[in-house]
Amino acid sequence: MADHVVTLNAGSSSIKFGLFASKPNLPRPVASGQVDGIGADMWFKARHAEDASTTQRDLADMPRGDGHRAAIDVILGWIERSFPDARVAAIGHRVVHGGPDFAGPVLVTPDVLTCLGKLAPLAPLHQPHNLAGIAAATEAFPGVPQVACFDTAFHRGHCFVSDTFALPRRYYEKGIRRYGFHGLSYDYIARRMREIAPLEAAGRMVVAHLGNGASMCAIENGRSVASTMGLTALDGLPMGTRCGQIDPGVLLYLLQHERLPVDAVADLLYEESGLLGLSGVSQDMRELEQSDDPRCREAIDYFVRRIRHELGGFAVTLGGIDAVVFTAGIGEHSALVRAAVLDGLEWLGVVLDAEANARHDQIISTPASRLRVYVVPTDEEAMIADQTIDVAGLARISAAA
């Protein structure tokens, strides 16, 4: 039986999974899918990578007790039936927050889980569910190595001024600092760009991970230099429902004068703001682009303005930019957003190829553009699988196998 790795990305109401075979470079995807509706009426969906065939199953009749454990049982059961020759040799988990102590993937131990649990207040929408997925997988597959792969790890090499807030230094020592997120995506893009455009990958890149969660990263020679996100995944760009950058005085006003409870402020910032809050219509960029409501256009304009603001700042941080890379759902699929971000940036060296942009080509700048612009799909699951293979010490089989 050949060694395979399962990747799990556990959220509050869903678990995404991937099955990967070990290969010399990035692992080969075998299957992927997810369970939706955890805690309610669950659905299972899966797709074979080789022939694109799909499987769907209504799980509404399943008990709603331990939803994550039930979902993982469904996932692993389907893998065992569909790929009987695939031995699950390790399971890799996306963990959003690694704090100051985890600068790379690690084998999960009780001590590691204790440390990660203490970070839950810094990623309340993600961390508890990530850890619930680890607990359920450990129970379902005792003895199989579980590996935690962190969204913050890629940014842990930042210098002090990129990591700190202008607070008394004792808070920095306590771990109140800028961590950055989407690191698995940025790590994948940095590696992928070494294959696509090695000269630019060895230089200065700005990667825009634009999706329901959105951030940007300045990368120099494959290493993160700065990120738009901070202590939590609220900072920086506006997102689907998250506010992004905000004057801290607004929060004081809401607490002191509006008399909002702390939980209500948290819900406002995490669930009611961003594109949804600005438009009053939707958090989905596709719906905003298709709407005639002027508030939708204003929401897009604000999103674009913040991206342009951060792009200009990163140009200064890096001392110039050799490439811009758009990735994730909006970055990969919204020609309108990409064109609006790059409009008028000839001073930065950008000459957009409008037709290539409309086709979603890999390169959307013209040959005359001094700064090259790319559209590159990300693959966080492949990075989780790759890191898991290394940490678990699995053998990498030959490319021909």
- The answer to which of 83-92, 182-191, 247-256, 299-308 has the lowest mean pLDDT is 83-92
**Average pLDDT score over residue span 113-131:** 89
Residues 211 and 290 in one domain: yes
384 lies in some domain: no
Whole-number pLDDT of residue 39? 67
Boundary of a domain, candidates 150, 182, 211: 150
Number of domains comprising the chain: 2
79 lies in some domain: yes
**Average pLDDT score over residue span 237-265:** 96
Question: Which of 316, 330, 352 has its CA nearest to residue 285?
Answer: 330
Residues 215 and 118 in one domain: no
**Residue 213 structural domain:** 199-375
The model's pLDDT over 142-194, given as tens digits with 9 standing for 90+, comes to: 899 999 999 999 999 999 999 999 999 999 999 999 999 999 999 999 999 99
The model's pLDDT over 365-379, given as tens digits with 9 standing for 90+, comes to: 999 999 999 999 999
Whole-number pLDDT of residue 395? 61
Residues 230 and 111 in one domain: no
117 lies in some domain: yes
Give Cα separations from 372 to 196, 308, 319, 340, 379 (angstroms): 12, 16, 16, 16, 21
Catalytic residues: 151
Strands (E), 181-288: 204-210, 214-220, 223-227
Which CATH number is 90's domain given?
A: 3.30.420.40
The model's pLDDT over 107-120, given as tens digits with 9 standing for 90+, comes to: 999 999 999 999 99
**Average pLDDT score over residue span 76-92:** 88
Whole-number pLDDT of residue 51? 77
